[in-house]
Structure 1
Amino acid sequence: MEVESARASDSVSESRWSKLAVTLPVRNVQALAASTGELTAEVIERYIQPDIDAFAVLDEHSDEVPVIDVSKLSSPESVEAEAAKLKFACAEWGFFQVVNHGIPDEVIMGMKHDIQKFFQLPPDVKNAYAQRQGDLQGYGQAFVVSDDQKLEWADMFALFAQPPEARDMSYWPCEPHTFRNFIEKYSSEVMKLAHSLGVFVAKTLDLNPELVEDKHVAQFLRMGYYPPCTPMPEKVLGFKPHSDMSFLTILLEVNSVQGLQIRRHGAWIPVKPCRDALLVNVGDLLEIMTNGKYKSIEHRVTINAHKERLTVSAFHLPNYDGIVSPILETREEKLLYKTVKVEEYARLFFTNKLEGKRALDHAKLSQ
């Protein structure tokens, strides 16, 4: 009975996660991009981002996002050196690639194949899984909170995938016929990877891994489709600059089309897709928990003039009813963040348009 009660509680918690959205319905971007005759100046104007050139883009940058070999973190002979690289990546970059992550190739390839096939389906088939009012899940868009805000050049398909008892299967597609199976397999494998990385991250700070066990109990999958924008790709964005609310985010590049850029030292650095790697980034809640030692970094998605880009982002989140408190290493360490209720932070994050690290600013203590 206690197990059943806990599962029921988890299911209620995750259903509350999904009911945070207030996204307004807007036109499907994939269909708009395909109807070039309808891309009038008036239509495209709502997608043009006025501050897109506010910071330089360093196309030829000597630094690369750090690469972490998960197998070396598991080996006594190499764990110390690899853990030092992980600590540096979390503290100085907020992003890192992971290789030898243990997810079977057939799971990743199946997931990639079926996502591409899903977005190739006719609009009426995809719209059978459209977002319902007040729900984060489904096929549509996110963070559209007013009729006059600038829109992003992207569509998404989003699901709560973990824990299994929290799933709303009415959103899980029946086409392609293997899609549900690969979503299940991929989600489970990525969840295991998130738990492993959480343990390694805790150890880099000499923390008891039990302190992070409840920080990634839920998983939200967002499959992104970024169609090409022939008229003016340099003026639109697939995602505006933002940081993630999550504890950890794990990204799969589906078709290796470059688009992600991270903000570092006052400039945008393009992240080159790395074959056989997954990209991991620190979320706001991990920055709060580490009292700012590990950084949740602003990032954005640019658009290609001729090629579509597809990705899968897995956001790992704490229990909806939980709290996240800064952990101080010494009594002398200055407290930089408030203790936050996850529910309140999530509501602030999801009911506003994306705008840099504005949500995290609310958690900072006045200095």
Structure 2
Amino acid sequence: MEAPTPSSSESGWSRMASSLPVRNVQDLAASGEELAAETLERYIRMDIQNADVVVERSGEVPVVDLGRLFDPQFAEQEAAHLRFACEDWGFFQLVNHGIPEEIIANVRNDIQKFFQLPLEVKNAYAQLPGDIQGYGQAFVMSESQTLDWSDMLGILTQPPQARDMRYWPSHQPHTFRKSIEDYSSELMKVSHSIVTFIAKTLNIDPKLMEDKYVSQFLRMNYYPPCKAMADKVLGFSPHSDASFFTLLLEVNSVQGLQIKRHNAWIPVKPNPKALLVNVGDYLEIMSNGKYKSIEHRVTINSNHERITVSAFQIPSLGGVISPVTGITEEKILYKTTGVEEYAKLYMSNKLDGKRALDHAKLL
């Protein structure tokens, strides 16, 4: 039986923008004889060779224990850790998140299996014109821009009625749909907990955030190794997330993510027992800048592939985001912004740090 076609209002997130089709990077990386300088020209980043200073330390991202947040004996102390993480880092490792190990193992296994499939099989789920869902790349807006060294499979997973099952692999791996469904559902439970405790740290009614994480977009990322020029390409350009917050699962624990802190790039050490959570642009607006979305990027390993899955928890498309008064004593820094208006602005341009958020700031 065919899956019902999602209504335009439910699936609107997937049609914010489209991306130009480009060469599959995994396939390109596998054909070593083709990796001449002219082939890699569109991927080479001059800005990472000279301008950036990478601080060689990792594992410093704050850790927040969800179990302790629920424990009256430790809740106040752990809430202080959460507040510090959101204020000072914009990132935290969430441990004891409660997602069953079997569900985590299944989704990791099936995502790895998907990217191991022949290219012609994966291309059966390729992006269609005008849709950001599917297998391919995102944020490719011109024939001349520098490209990221990565491929992705993106699907809108929540709410269930918004799903377009054409993009959900059904036969290979045969358990893929169930693994994604189980994982997505568990993430919604975790997201509810995160929102509840973030609201408490901001001293606002959690009901004000009820519609701020109701949609979920899963982006499964594949970063092939680049033996020739790993230090000259990026897997993901510097950006902040157009989400309320994002939950990242490291599928195979190969380091690559870096966050911008004090004008230096800090490597983040993968924690296989944690979900990495980061503040998104919409939460920065709502908190009037108290909690900041942080620029981050992905570097490439010369010998090993890196696989991750990001869950972007996003507001209802028809809603608005505005600063909640009383969070800070400072003046209001952001204007009331339509969720759809901001999403279109963000998705219709190539990634460029936090430039999209500048449009939401009051002069």
- Range class of TM-score, shorter chain: over 0.9
Work out whether residues 14 and 218 of structure 1, in 8 Å CA contact, stay in contact via their aligned partners in 2: no
The match for 1:281 among 266, 271, 278 is: 278
Work out whether residues 225 and 310 of structure 1, in 8 Å CA contact, stay in contact via their aligned partners in 2: yes
The match for 1:193 is 190
The match for 2:128 among 118, 125, 132 is: 132
Partner of 1:310: helix, strand, or coil?
strand
The match for 1:245 is 242
Work out whether residues 283 and 295 of structure 1, in 8 Å CA contact, stay in contact via their aligned partners in 2: yes
Using the alignment, how far apart are the partners of 1:198 and 1:13 within structure 2? 24
The match for 2:153 among 153, 157, 161 is: 157
After TM superposition, list the pairs within 5 Å mapping 1:274-353 onto structure 2: 274-329=271-326, 332-353=329-350
2:223 aligned partner, one-letter code: Y
2:30 aligned partner, one-letter code: A
1:291, CA displacement in angstroms?
0.1
Using the alignment, how far apart are the partners of 2:39 and 2:224 within structure 1? 16
Using the alignment, how far apart are the partners of 1:317 and 1:17 within structure 2? 9
Is 1:226 the equivalent of 2:214? Answer: no
Using the alignment, how far apart are the partners of 1:68 and 1:357 within structure 2? 25
The match for 1:212 is 209
After TM superposition, list the pairs within 5 Å mapping 1:1-367 onto structure 2: 11-53=7-49, 54-60=51-57, 64-174=60-170, 175-329=172-326, 332-366=329-363
1:11, CA displacement in angstroms?
4.4
TM-score (norm. length: structure 2): 0.96
Using the alignment, how far apart are the partners of 2:25 and 2:154 within structure 1? 16
2:146 aligned partner, one-letter code: K
Using the alignment, how far apart are the partners of 2:19 and 2:142 within structure 1? 8
Q: Specify whether residues 11 and 212 from structure 1 end up closer, same or farther in structure 2 by C-alpha distance, changes over 3 A only.
A: farther
Work out whether residues 13 and 319 of structure 1, in 8 Å CA contact, stay in contact via their aligned partners in 2: no
1:332, CA displacement in angstroms?
4.9
Q: Deviations over 1:94-131 (max 9, x none)?
A: 00000000000000000000000000000010000000
Using the alignment, how far apart are the partners of 1:296 and 1:271 within structure 2? 16
Q: Deviations over 1:243-286 (max 9, x none)?
A: 00100100000000000000000100000001211100000000
Using the alignment, how far apart are the partners of 1:262 and 1:52 within structure 2? 14
Using the alignment, how far apart are the partners of 1:337 and 1:122 within structure 2? 47
The match for 1:3 is none
Partner of 2:211: helix, strand, or coil?
helix
Using the alignment, how far apart are the partners of 1:96 and 1:280 within structure 2? 5
Q: Which runs of 4+ in 1 moved over 3 A?
A: none
1:20, CA displacement in angstroms?
1.4
The match for 1:5 is none
Using the alignment, how far apart are the partners of 1:106 and 1:172 within structure 2? 21
The share of aligned pairs that are identical, in percent, is 65
Q: Deviations over 1:193-219 (max 9, x none)?
A: 111101100000111000111100000
Using the alignment, how far apart are the partners of 2:37 and 2:220 within structure 1? 29
Q: Specify whether residues 182 and 50 from structure 1 end up closer, same or farther in structure 2 by C-alpha distance, changes over 3 A only.
A: same
1:203 aligned partner, one-letter code: K
1:15, CA displacement in angstroms?
1.5
Partner of 2:9: helix, strand, or coil?
helix
TM-score (norm. length: structure 1): 0.95
1:349, CA displacement in angstroms?
0.4
What is the alpha-carbon root mean square deviation over aligned residues? 1.3
Using the alignment, how far apart are the partners of 2:9 and 2:193 within structure 1? 24
Total equivalences in the alignment: 357
Partner of 2:135: helix, strand, or coil?
strand
1:215 aligned partner, one-letter code: K
Q: Specify whether residues 106 and 341 from structure 1 end up closer, same or farther in structure 2 by C-alpha distance, changes over 3 A only.
A: same
Q: Deviations over 1:15-38 (max 9, x none)?
A: 211111221000000000000111
1:342, CA displacement in angstroms?
0.5
